[in-house]
Amino acid sequence: MSEHPSDQTKLRVIYLAGYGRSGSTLLDIALGMRPDVFGAGELTALARHAWKNGEYCACGVTVHSCPFWGAVMARADGEADEAAASDVDAAHDAQAVLDNLADLQRRVESLAAWRRVLGRFLPDTLNHYHGANRGLFLAVTAEGGRGGGNGTERAVYVLDSSKLPGRALALSSMPGIDLRVIHLVRDPRAVAWSMSRPHRKQIEAGVQRELRPKPAFYVALRWSMVNLVCEWLCRRVGPGRTIRVRYEDFVADPPAVLEAIRTQCAPDLPGLADDGAPPPEVLRPGHQVAGSRHRMQEHLVIREDHMWERQMPDWARRLVSWITGPLLRRYGYMPGARADHEGRPVSASRPPLVEKQGRLVENKGLVETNGIGAGR
């Protein structure tokens, strides 16, 4: 990379943090339909496995064949700074760049990565991580900002829905980044129910590996731990740059949630009524990499779903509620409870959606694709 971003050319990144099966792909697609936001999907997966394994982009072809990601990797190879390039012996191919980044991610992005925690005292690994990610984000920003085929470029936020709070913590200390964070939560009972069901590997359908069932107690513990770290992340990033969004609020009123994200997290974006974005009720994936299999559909239409409420065993529901009780109350999921100020940015004027869960359980329920209802 020839120069570091100045204050006027900071990398603008919106990071979607949270636990799995919480609707992050759906929110990525909805936000990515805005002309000033590029929904990139789970960027951490590009280096970890998507490029290496030839996985599918949401546009319907593999990332190797996708013109967008091909152009991104061509740029990223040239943008990599000297610190990152030295780790791959000045290699000039995309796989070498991503292999280097994947190795750095494994060392830095886990919740308890000591190289990130001690970054102030052992800066080399973190500096190399920042340099490699900077090249990738610059490339995605440049390609994502190319507008209308008229040769012009527009300023865009890159939306990274990798979810891992450890990744966001590492990115938050990157020089020259303007980081905004969306903390996405979903009722842990619905999450546990979703994760209790297996799914076989279907690469072309967007399922990159076999998904085995996870026990309810494990999901409840991990859900609590990840969301607590997400709260710490939001405090670190600071007020005016973060927002907590409940999945149930989003599926109940997508325009209101998208507008709340804009006003509370990225106020420099134009309002929905001003930017000409399509209505979010019909979602059309773009070039999201990794994430829910539903990104492989031509379009998604939000519908009601209450499957977990009907089919989740009572013992599992009680177990998850007991383990996650404090956060259930804080986020407004217990009967009679109201979410705290951070937990109700878009629904302060109405009771929490507890008795009636949202309208689409993305990647877990019914999704209408091309006018045909499809069960998971």
Please tell me the class of the 7-374 domain.
Answer: alpha beta
Question: Which contiguous run of DSSP H or E holds residue 182?
Answer: strand 177-185
Question: What are the tens digits of pLDDT across the range 104-132?
Answer: 898 888 877 655 565 555 678 888 999 99
- What is the per-residue pLDDT for 15? 97
Lowest mean pLDDT across 9-18, 40-49, 84-93: 84-93
pLDDT at 375 over 90: no
What confidence category does residue 3 fall into, taking pLDDT thresholds of 50, 70 and 90? very low
Question: Which contiguous run of DSSP H or E holds residue 155?
Answer: none
Question: What are the tens digits of pLDDT across the range 262-278?
Answer: 999 888 887 655 555 55
Per-residue DSSP letter, 88: T
Q: Among residues 346, 31, 293, which one has the least CA distance to residue 161?
A: 31
- What is the per-residue pLDDT for 371? 30
Q: Can you tell me the distance from the alpha carbon of 371 to that of 217, in angstroms, rounded to the nearest whole number? A: 37
Long-range contacts of 329-334 (CB under 8 A, 24+ apart): 331/185, 331/244, 331/246, 332/246, 333/187, 333/188
Q: Can you tell me the distance from the alpha carbon of 85 to that of 96, in angstroms, rounded to the nearest whole number? A: 10
Chain-centre distance for alpha carbon 237: 17
Q: Can you tell me the distance from the alpha carbon of 47 to that of 25, in angstroms, rounded to the nearest whole number? A: 18
Lowest mean pLDDT across 207-221, 277-291, 323-337, 340-354: 340-354
- Identify the top-confidence range among 60-69, 122-131, 316-325: 316-325
What does pTM read for this prediction? 0.82
- What is the per-residue pLDDT for 340? 54
- What is the per-residue pLDDT for 91? 35
Q: Among residues 85, 57, 81, 84, which one has the least CA distance to residue 71?
A: 57
Q: Can you tell me the distance from the alpha carbon of 367 to that of 376, in angstroms, rounded to the nearest whole number? A: 8
- What is the per-residue pLDDT for 266? 87
What is the rounded radius of gyration, in angstroms, for the C-alpha atoms of the chain? 20
Pair of tokens at residue 107: 């060392």
- Domain coordinates in residue numbering, the chain: 7-374
Mean pLDDT of all residues belonging to the chain: 77
- What is the per-residue pLDDT for 227? 97
pLDDT at 88 over 60: no
Per-residue DSSP letter, 48: I
Instruction: Choose between 129 and 297: higher pLDDT.
Output: 129
Residue 171 near residue 289, CB atoms below 8 Å: no
- Non-local (6+) Cβ contacts of 326 within 8 A are none
- In the chain, % of residues over pLDDT 90: 41
